[in-house]
Amino acid sequence: MTTVPPSLPRLGLLPRFRMLRSITLLALPALAAGGLATGALEGAPPAKRISSTDDLQVYDTPRIDPATAPGRPLFEQHCAMCHMGGVAKAASPAFLAMVAPDSIVAALTDGVMRSQGAMLSAEQKVQVAEYITRVPFASYQRPAPPKQCTGRAAEFDLTDVPGPIGWGRDNRRFIPAAVAQLPAAAVPKLKLKWAFAYPAANRARSQPTLAWGTMFVGSQDGTIFAFDPDSGCTRWTTRLSAEARTAIVADPDTRRLYFGDLLGKVHALDAMTGKELWAERMSDHPDATITGTPTLGGGLLYVPVSSLEVVQAGNPAYACCTFRGSVVALDPATGREVWRAWTAGEPKPQGKTAAGAPILGPSGAPVWNSPTYDPVTDRVFFGSGENYSTPADSNSDAVFAVEARTGRQIWRTQLTARDAWNVGCMVGNDSCPTENGPDHDVAASPLLVTADNGRPMLVVGQKSGEAWGLDPATGKIAWRTRLGHGGTQGGVHFGMAAEGGTVFVPINDMADTYDARVYDAKLRGSGLHAIDAATGKVRWFTRAPDTCRGAKFCDPGISAAVTAIPGVVFAGHLDGMFRAYDSRTGRVLWAFDTRQPMPTIDGKTTKGGSISGPGAAVWRGKVVMNSGYGMYSHMAGNALMVFEPTR
């Protein structure tokens, strides 16, 4: 089997500083997936390659030119010494570039950077924020908060206790009939009830959670909303410093909310008021982030830790690499660390590149997915990504089982060996590990399923375009099924779903991945697959129809997580189409184009774009979905939509 360097559709990184510019031209769409076919195929069209960062990023707003921005010399004089690696804990430019500009100004005025900001005038603080974020401050207009709820709409329904479903509770992403209250026969009657435009956003990553009669969701600018699901008014809003990247996890026992953010922090909020109770950063590494949703179970909160250091190695002078992936168990009452399970050995000097940069390894093996907790065996299961540097070890592209109380490893099964890769491989510099990939991350959560034969099975989706069945007791591989060619932004990305012994596997498999690689179209698996959890046998496959009609940044595949209710699977596509499939046959029951302009609850207009990251939430007859993913050559959008069947 031939393999390819990977892609990173899970990461929220848009490096924009000049020293990183040349690497992002090649790397951003190609950091965390694997593939079956690579290079030149007989009769295939010429390979394409990204020519500028503009090809990777999609914005609907004006942009600042960093070369001429007046904030550039100010950043270099006052900020670069720390944020370009001089201080270990200082956020890297890649992270700062994704923070809202008013948050940068606030940090320099009365926040953590106020001592540095004391040397700058108010105008200079704005200029620094513009340079960092590339957003003209004058064009950055945060809309007024949505209408505040009054009367009965302001009341929480305390009888609506959140059940153990969805990311952070049960990663099978199956919503039972009692919660969904949406018969399959009513799905074709779904109509848009109301929509909301996330403020100052070109993407929507946080999956909504419905509990206590309230919809909780985070946004790109760090605002957490508590909506009345019927009207769209808000019971409260809380603004934090960085993008909420994960689903919101509702704790029925304490009425708390848990989630992770761009800067690698886990937050706990009071669900009734939005008050922050605690916030803890999960790693001292400046490139650490949280991509997978924290999981609540067995009295602990299990947090997956990932990072964007893989991009830094595109600079041949960078000492690659020092990040180690992990899962951290926290006391949910306080945020105190109880244990940490590492997914890579401790980095040690391994020599130097020809350019003289130190090589540190092993490293990497980030955890992109939400851990799966099994209350029966009191175990936690999770998957890892590639090593960032030589030597590759046995922890990359692997599935782990650990004791839930202690973090002690019970077993580890590696799905792809010798996988060390970083962006240096894309640009051809000496930072590329000798293994040179293929970066076949296990990016989606492993699903613990009871197969139709009554046996438990751990079903794993990989960016190689494969699904695997593992014995949860031993980690032994029971079956392996190829569903697509995989590759850069190919294979399984954010998440699968399961109804009984059937697992629904979304495959992305983009035709043009902008990284000079060509894949065999005959193997393309873009669409939704239903497989037997006991054997891996494909029960049906519905290919994703191509509705793009040549539109830029438009692809038909399924990158977002899918969600199942009895008889129905909901899937958002990269072309902006939101579809409902018959779970028995794969027939499309309903579809909605989220790219169309939609009126919002405040009298304005919003539109979606590519759908990636979170999947649908279904509750009391309503279907809630995000749309918009303006990164990695996908279409921007900022829509939150609530659907309900017509009577």
3 state DSSP class of 320: strand
Residue 339 has pLDDT above 60, yes or no: yes
pLDDT top residue among 331 and 632: 331
pLDDT top residue among 53 and 250: 250
Strands (E), 200-264: 209-211, 214-218, 223-227, 234-239, 249-251, 256-260
Residue 173 has pLDDT above 70, yes or no: yes
Which of 140-144, 236-240, 488-492 has the least mean pLDDT? 140-144
Q: Estimate to the nearest angstrom the gap between the alpha carbon of 498 and the chain centroid.
A: 20
CA dihedral sign, ordered 56, 96, 294, 477: positive
- Which CA distances in Å does 388 have to 81, 431, 452? 25, 10, 39
Grade residue 46 by pLDDT with cuts at 50, 70 and 90: low
3 state DSSP class of 342: strand
Instruction: Return d(Cα 243, Cα 246) in angstroms, integer.
Output: 9
Q: What is the pLDDT of residues 520-548, one digit of tens each?
A: 889 999 999 999 999 999 999 999 999 99
- Residue carrying the six token digits 């020293």: 19
Instruction: Return d(Cα 551, Cα 573) in angstroms, integer.
Output: 14
Q: What is the pLDDT of residues 615-626, one digit of tens each?
A: 999 999 999 999
Residue 579 has pLDDT above 90, yes or no: yes
Mean pLDDT across the chain: 87
Grade residue 296 by pLDDT with cuts at 50, 70 and 90: very high
Amino acid identity for residue 136 in this structure: P
What is residue 130's predicted lDDT score, i.e. its pLDDT?
77
Element (DSSP H or E) covering residue 268: strand 265-270
Tokens of 586: 């794969």
Instruction: Return d(Cα 555, Cα 369) in angstroms, integer.
Output: 23
Tokens of 151: 């009367």
pLDDT top residue among 118 and 262: 262
Q: What is the pLDDT of residues 2-44, one digit of tens each?
A: 232 232 222 233 333 333 333 333 233 333 333 333 333 444 4
Which of 90-94, 277-281, 367-371 has the least mean pLDDT? 90-94
DSSP 8-state class, residue 488: T
pTM for the complete prediction? 0.89
Average pLDDT value for residue range 494-522: 88
Q: Estimate to the nearest angstrom the gap between the alpha carbon of 418 and the chain centroid.
A: 25
Grade residue 74 by pLDDT with cuts at 50, 70 and 90: confident
Instruction: Return d(Cα 270, Cα 429) in angstroms, integer.
Output: 48
Q: What is the pLDDT of residues 197-209, one digit of tens each?
A: 998 888 999 999 9
Average pLDDT value for residue range 343-363: 94
Instruction: Return d(Cα 233, Cα 523) in angstroms, integer.
Output: 47
Residue 160 has pLDDT above 50, yes or no: yes
DSSP 8-state class, residue 19: H
Grade residue 71 by pLDDT with cuts at 50, 70 and 90: confident
- Find out whether the peptide bond into 229 is cis, omega within 30 degrees of 0: no
Summary count for the chain: helices (H), strands (E): 10, 37
What is residue 488's predicted lDDT score, i.e. its pLDDT?
74
Across the strands, what pairs with 467? 461, 481
Which of 405-409, 421-425, 643-647 has the least mean pLDDT? 421-425
Say if residues 610 and 574 touch (Cβ distance below 8 Å).
yes
Give the closest residue to 290 by CA, choosing from 203, 382, 366, 351: 366
Residue 374 has φ and ψ, to the nearest 5°, of -110, 110
CB burial string 82-100: b at 16+ within 10 A, e below: bbbeeeeebbbbbbbbbbb
What is residue 7's predicted lDDT score, i.e. its pLDDT?
29
Share of the chain above pLDDT 90, in %: 67
